[in-house]
Structure 1
């Protein structure tokens, strides 16, 4: 085997995957991801155009700026859950309030898709508790 063997890269990628798993396990990862994904349809749908042949359907409402603010704040709260897990309860409560505000302000919360994703992520954030420090990964 030479130094440039692809087997060496496999061990490097496995180490990166294990490091990502440790990082993901030390914070409410899925809560942040679902909260961020919930903000995307809330932001996108009020500005989207649906073209069917020559017919263009626009979902623009007068609350487009409110949808933009709510969606951006949900994405920001999702990132806060990832990078500041200490404030996960505050971020979860704020995400629940914003998701509920998106019902009247943003096409029923992004046609219920963004609303449900944000509510699920916020509930996961509130319910998440840090675990005990784990043991080192066995080197295999």
Structure 2
């Protein structure tokens, strides 16, 4: 195998790079946080925790509301992954649903779901698509000197500047002040 031959990439590496490119084109982490925020909000009102022989039921009268909020947050998270143009709407909706979950769903899933929905919604609103990198010109395959034989170099060096460089001062509009030339600028003397 020579230096010019690309290394053979495995199936796993190719899939990982495809996923990385897909993830970079959308608010992936915002969608993940919003989805993870919906899970505790929907789960805790229906959970029966076992502590030894003691069963702790967290059922509230707003169990249906908690389920709706949790499912909506999961749907908003999925829509952030596959419908990136609705990111502002989905982010604002996730923030509002997270705030509504505080009184409805056991303090927003014991603040876990509330905080995840809040952070994910803020990330969705703040996300902006990246600028694709500029295309690089192909590398020159000339001789060792960098230019083919008989061809001149395309880059030209600027002549060195000797002495201080004078900067033009702004002129007045009348053009009658002493020291102004014909075009209204100070003459270099």
Bucket of the pairwise TM-score, normalised by the shorter protein: 0.7 to 0.9
Is 1:95 paired with 2:94? Answer: yes
Greater per-residue helix proportion:
1
**Distance in 2 between the 1:35 and 1:68 partners?**
15
- For 1:40, the equivalent position in structure 2 comes to 39
CA deviation string 1:68-98 (max 9, x = no partner): 0000000000001000000100000010110
Is 1:62 paired with 2:61? Answer: yes
**Distance in 2 between the 1:106 and 1:40 partners?**
11
Is 1:84 paired with 2:90? Answer: no
- For 2:21, the equivalent position in structure 1 comes to 22
Higher gyration radius (CA): 2
Poorly superposed stretches of 4+, deviation over 4 Å: none
What number of residue pairs does the alignment pair up? Answer: 129
Q: CA deviation at 1:134?
A: 4.0
Unaligned runs of 5+ in 2: 1-6, 136-189
Task: Give the match's secondary structure for 1:50.
Answer: strand
Q: CA deviation at 1:11?
A: 1.7
**Distance in 1 between the 2:39 and 2:133 partners?**
34
TM-score by length of 1: 0.88
Higher relative contact order (CA 8 A, sep 6+): 1
Unaligned runs of 5+ in 1: 1-6
- For 1:52, the equivalent position in structure 2 comes to 51
